[in-house]
Structure 1
Amino acid sequence: MRTLIQSELTTLLTNASVIELDGLGPKVLKLSDGSFIKLFRKRPLFSRETLKPYAKRFAENSERLKQLGFSSPKIIGVYWLVDPINKTAVHYWPLPGQTLRQTLGSSDAERRQQLIELFGELLAKLHTNGVYFRSVHLGNVLVQPDGQLGLIDLADMRISRFALSPRKRQRNLKHMQRYSEDQQWLFKEHLDALQEGYSRVAKGQTAKLFS
């Protein structure tokens, strides 16, 4: 990580467009060259941010996912910011495509069935490879132009050397049910597709998880 002073940040963000914002201002911006900057706010004194900045977590997780065979953003740089609100930032090339949630919303039932099977496979691959993506939901998975699924918003993720326990897998599934649209598609209309995709990769785990 290197320190990016305010004038450098201002230059970098010239003609940038806001992709995501909150009450404190922009959180994700698209730069004039097509790359993205994600800003991370200052956290309470004692938090996971204290141990390792979220921008660095994002970058490290992206690289580790690539090593495991997943699609993730290409990192350009990770910065400390001299800024009263934002503390760190990660600069990256985004993956092409639209979110799985958007794609499902514009697809017929047959196509949704296919996509949710793919998502089940992706989820099982994550779990089998020790990836606990706590915030995984249909809005931070991308459907790329080649039809493959990719991952975004990677800071809230832990990667271990061992496959996830059944308890952690269930916790991950439960988290996705907090989103009403995701719950309808994944756990009601197309639960069979989710189970089929998951079992294709994680044989022997499905019955316990979805019972």
Structure 2
Amino acid sequence: MTYPLLTAQHLLNARVIERDPRGIKVLQLPNGDYLKVFRLRHRFSWSRFQGYAQRFSNNASSLAALGIPTVRVINCYQVKNGRLLDYPLSAHSHSEPIQDIAPLTQTYAVHYAPLAGETLKILLDQQQLDTNHVKQLGVFIAELHEKGIHFRSLHLGNIVLTPEGKMGLIDIADMKIYPWSLWFGTRLRSFRHLTRYARINVSFGDTNWSMLVNSYIEHAALTVSQAGILKKKMQHFLLHPPH
């Protein structure tokens, strides 16, 4: 698929939100939209055939079709001028002729409108996450699983409570959507993703984790055996988070 080129005009008055040693990762544009950069991580990678930028765009469309609130993709750009994404954003990059710069390959940027609301992590940090939100989260995860959504970046920082009181997803590049409800083993992996960060696990608290799991079990139509396995697995996940 051919994309338009990212130019200096797209970055005018943009603010850097996130970066790493390779350069800028996320920019906020003056109107509040975001520009997220995707770089090829490995020379031989599935992302070479279907890049993360395209997956991000496809996932946004699929989630919207399934009734899950998420970001709205506006455009996708190919990045040829590597200077544009150097940190800090430099004035000379706005006038640098693109042909004078070593071209990049497999680097793309997605322009999207954010999902309005606050992440559950922010609500937790601000002590605004109540028991109704916790129960709602259990229902929401059950809905995702029923709709075949395996979100590998599932955690409180990527789940948003919208102004309408619904829950939605952000940072959606790493996701697989199946045409069937998730198998039980995949559901367990999803809860492993949810509990990956030790600090969040502790802040969330044992009572809330128990309430969330019970809410999920009530709405996910698990068997008695599966419910028991999930509870035991959750105990293990919370005692041994990877991060």
TM-score by length of 2: 0.78
Matches within 5 A, 1:9-158: 9-84=7-82, 87-107=107-127, 111-158=129-176
Deviates more, 1:156-165 or 1:178-187: 178-187
Amino acid in structure 1 at the alignment position of 2:3: T
CA RMSD in angstroms, aligned pairs only: 1.9
Q: Secondary structure at the match of 1:18?
A: strand
Q: Specify whether residues 120 and 72 from structure 1 end up closer, same or farther in structure 2 by C-alpha distance, changes over 3 A only.
A: same
Distance 1:123 1:155 in 2: 18
Distance 1:175 1:3 in 2: 32
Question: How many pairs align?
Answer: 207
TM-score by length of 1: 0.89
Q: Please name the residue that 2:3 is paired with.
A: 3
Q: What are the Cα deviations for residues 90-135 of structure 1, in whole angstroms up to 9, with x where unaligned?
A: 1111111121101012126xx4322221111111111111111011
Unaligned runs of 5+ in 1: none
Pairing partner for 2:181 from 163, 173, 180: 163
Amino acid in structure 2 at the alignment position of 1:120: G
1:176 and 1:183 in contact (8 A); partners too: no
2:4 and 2:76 in contact (8 A); partners too: no
Distance 1:185 1:203 in 2: 28
Distance 1:19 1:152 in 2: 15
Q: What are the Cα deviations for residues 41-76 of structure 1, in whole angstroms up to 9, with x where unaligned?
A: 122121121120101100110110011110011111
Q: Please name the residue that 2:92 is paired with.
A: none
Distance 1:9 1:200 in 2: 51
Q: 1:159 deviation in Å?
A: 0.4
Q: 1:11 deviation in Å?
A: 0.7
User: Is residue 181 from structure 1 mapped to residue 199 from structure 2 by the alignment?
Assistant: yes
1:166 and 1:209 in contact (8 A); partners too: no
Q: Secondary structure at the match of 2:7?
A: helix
Q: What are the Cα deviations for residues 4-55 of structure 1, in whole angstroms up to 9, with x where unaligned?
A: 43xx521101101122222222211111122111100122121121120101
Unaligned runs of 5+ in 2: 83-103, 233-243
2:40 and 2:48 in contact (8 A); partners too: no
